[in-house]
Structure 1
Amino acid sequence: MTLETSAKRAFDMLRETSIAYDCVLLDIDMPERDGIELCADIRRLDRYRNAPILMITKHMEQAVVERAFAAGATDYVTKPFAFVEVVTRIRVAHALVQERRAALDSYLALQNSVGQPAVGRASVRKSKDMPPVMVDEEQHVSGDNLLALPVFRNYLEQAAREDKAKIHLTAIKAQYISRVFELTSSDEFLEFLKMFAKAITEEFAPEQVFMTHMGNGVFLCSSHHAPTRNLTKMEDALLLKLRKLVETSGFVQDVPVDLVMGSALKINPTPKLNFCRASKAAIARMDSRDLEQNAVSAA
């Protein structure tokens, strides 16, 4: 463990050390520059692209929480805190990284055992036995505030603690995701997820939105306000943006592009958000709309 009070010296140390640190803890209030800016710089270093970065701070404002997670924070702990809580969060964050690496290492070992050429993580390709949900586990889908599921959960739980928090959850599903998965390589599938996130970001603008891929093409999105347009118009606009992105991508042919969007679920401020219940409720709204649309199509 190494303690450093200077943001510049801390960054130089992280960049130049021969062995990367397993975890980084940052205080937002630091001399020279704040910890959020430092977090963004650390994320640009390849060796710390997936490393756990925990923010330790007195700030509970939703705007500050959003800045931290947008910069790449894995978790957020507010002062005063119990030492045991911080240690537990570090262990959980580290375990998640190790599990993702172990899952991919097992897959690579299986591929090599059946005579497939050895490949690195960045170039790994999918097989029929590799589910769509696994593809984005190791390769972080960055950009457009698309967060890994555990990080998105941490963000939502922390943001909901502020008394004046404004949070609405919206579930959006990319239809025919299994077919998209079959027609694309792992890199292409990741690119499709990025395009979906980009289309969502553009459609919600100027509202800031954080989102995560829940698996099987389902995206859970968090925004301050519920969309003002009706669902049909918003679905049509979002679908148009996504189709344009796919058509200009140049790497996919005959990929089915369609989506369904649920109505927004308001999350009331709470010191302890039940993430599972909230996410299931938002997804249930999306599923209900999907059933309604299928019934209309069948009529």
Structure 2
Amino acid sequence: MHILAVDDDPIILDLLTHFIEDMPEHTVTTALSVTDALGLMVKPEQPFDCFLLDIVMPGTDGIELCKILRGTDRYRTTPILMLTAMADKGHIDSAFAAGASDYITKPFELNSLKGRLSLVEQIAREQREPTSQTYATQALLGMSPDDLADEMTIDLHQPLPIYDVEGVIENSAMENYVTQLSRKSLCGSVVMAFTIRHIADLHACLSPYDFTCVVTDVSEAIADCLLPTHRLVSYAGNGTFVCVVEGAAQIDMERLVDHINLYINAMELSASDGTALNIRVCAGRPARLIWRKGDSAIDALHQAHISAEEAADRLTRDMGSIWTVSHSVA
């Protein structure tokens, strides 16, 4: 990978340079400020495959640079690792909300950084594969519905990247976010999940473009309805959105689901051919993240995911039973 490291501390940059130069599969370019970094990125012949960003720097900080990168087509999905001394929850929240892929606090262990770089290299390589969800989504959103390639497909069960929706991050970043909180004993948040009902039917009847649009619109509805609390939302695949919400221990889930469904209804969603879409979600059981560490925190995300899908299946069975009974009586 070609890595750009941005930090106002030349000692840190020298350390990173010597470390990365010992890894023959990587090269590194350094910048002492966001201004210098932006100057390097305008060179079309020198794209970067990964970014290492400090947060606190004179002028524009690393979080703002992260937002700038995510606002460009070239670096919309490029791995961004925050490498910073800021270990408080506020900075962690802001970094992931801006689009960070992972978060490493100083002082850091070189072996740990090497492991993180290996992981993001694998992610970056997979995203460039024509069969990947990221590749397909970027292609779909760059085409008009009439120009879509017939062979372009979206896997129902795989996470789908969602772009340009505030509060919505990639699924792998969500796992890193929760892991980071658990390492810092800052897990006072609640994890919950929502599933689009009859998602398999929608996936079967909608074009890949329309399906991507539905997932994006529903993610926006969920993120907006969770305001004003701090929230991060990710699409985990199979019509399910996993959310981490701060200070939501007493939330009324039934009322929240009604609010989301009313919001979606007001969006008047339709397919490309004008067919109206009746999109509704249901929710699983929320769970507190407090006291959960490492893999246990990740398990909370998976449990919320499963709970929401079970709720959708249960609701479908219940509605089917009502339909059967009503017709038997008739």
TM-score class, shorter-chain normalisation, is 0.7 to 0.9
| Residue aligning to 2:156 | 132
* RCO higher in structure (CA 8 A, sep ≥6): 1
SS of residue in 2 equivalent to 1:55: strand
Aligned equivalents of 2:313, 2:77: Cα separation in 1: 38
| Residue aligning to 2:238 | 216
Correspondence 1:58-137 to 2 at 5 A = 58-104=85-131, 122-123=142-143, 125=149, 130-134=154-158, 136=160
Report the Cα offset of residue 234 of structure 1.
2.0
| Residue aligning to 2:206 | 184
**Residue deviations 1:11-65 (CA, integer Å, cap 9, x gap):** 1112225220111101112222211111111222322111111100111211111
Q: Given the alignment, which residue of 213, 217, 232 partners 2:254?
A: 232
Q: TM-score with structure 2 length normalisation?
A: 0.77
| Residue aligning to 1:115 | none
Amino acid at match of 2:74: R
Report the Cα offset of residue 226 of structure 1.
2.5
Q: Is the 8 A contact 1:209 1:222 kept in 2?
A: yes
Aligned equivalents of 2:277, 2:166: Cα separation in 1: 22
SS of residue in 1 equivalent to 2:30: coil
Report the Cα offset of residue 81 of structure 1.
1.1
Aligned sequence identity (%): 22
Report the Cα offset of residue 67 of structure 1.
0.6
Amino acid at match of 1:27: D
Report the Cα offset of residue 251 of structure 1.
5.9
270 and 97 in structure 1: CA distance in 2 versus 1, 3 angstrom threshold: same
Amino acid at match of 2:214: F
Q: Given the alignment, which residue of 277, 296, 300 partners 1:255?
A: 277
| Residue aligning to 2:9 | none
Q: Given the alignment, which residue of 303, 312, 319 partners 1:281?
A: 303
SS of residue in 1 equivalent to 2:233: strand
| Residue aligning to 2:82 | 55
Aligned pair 1:203/2:225, yes or no? Answer: yes
132 and 271 in structure 1: CA distance in 2 versus 1, 3 angstrom threshold: closer
| Residue aligning to 1:113 | none
Aligned equivalents of 1:39, 1:231: Cα separation in 2: 33
Amino acid at match of 2:221: A
Asked which structure has the greater CA Rg, the reply is 2
Amino acid at match of 1:58: A
Query: How much is the aligned-residue C-alpha RMSD, in angstroms?
Result: 2.9
Q: Is the 8 A contact 2:186 2:290 kept in 1?
A: no
Aligned equivalents of 1:281, 1:50: Cα separation in 2: 27
SS of residue in 2 equivalent to 1:60: coil
Q: Is the 8 A contact 1:183 1:255 kept in 2?
A: no
Aligned pair 1:24/2:51, yes or no? Answer: yes
**Residue deviations 1:61-88 (CA, integer Å, cap 9, x gap):** 1111111111111110011111121122
Report the Cα offset of residue 98 of structure 1.
1.4
Aligned pair 1:147/2:174, yes or no? Answer: no
Aligned equivalents of 1:254, 1:127: Cα separation in 2: 25
Q: Given the alignment, which residue of 236, 244, 247 partners 2:266?
A: 244
Aligned pair 1:43/2:65, yes or no? Answer: no
Gaps of 5+ in 1: 109-118
Q: Is the 8 A contact 1:126 1:186 kept in 2?
A: no
Greater mean alpha carbon deviation, residues 151-160 or residues 122-131: 122-131
Aligned equivalents of 2:293, 2:253: Cα separation in 1: 31
Amino acid at match of 1:31: P
Aligned equivalents of 2:235, 2:116: Cα separation in 1: 22
105 and 176 in structure 1: CA distance in 2 versus 1, 3 angstrom threshold: closer
Aligned equivalents of 2:68, 2:208: Cα separation in 1: 27
Aligned equivalents of 2:63, 2:245: Cα separation in 1: 21
**Residue deviations 1:190-241 (CA, integer Å, cap 9, x gap):** 2211211111122211112111111110111110122645332222221111
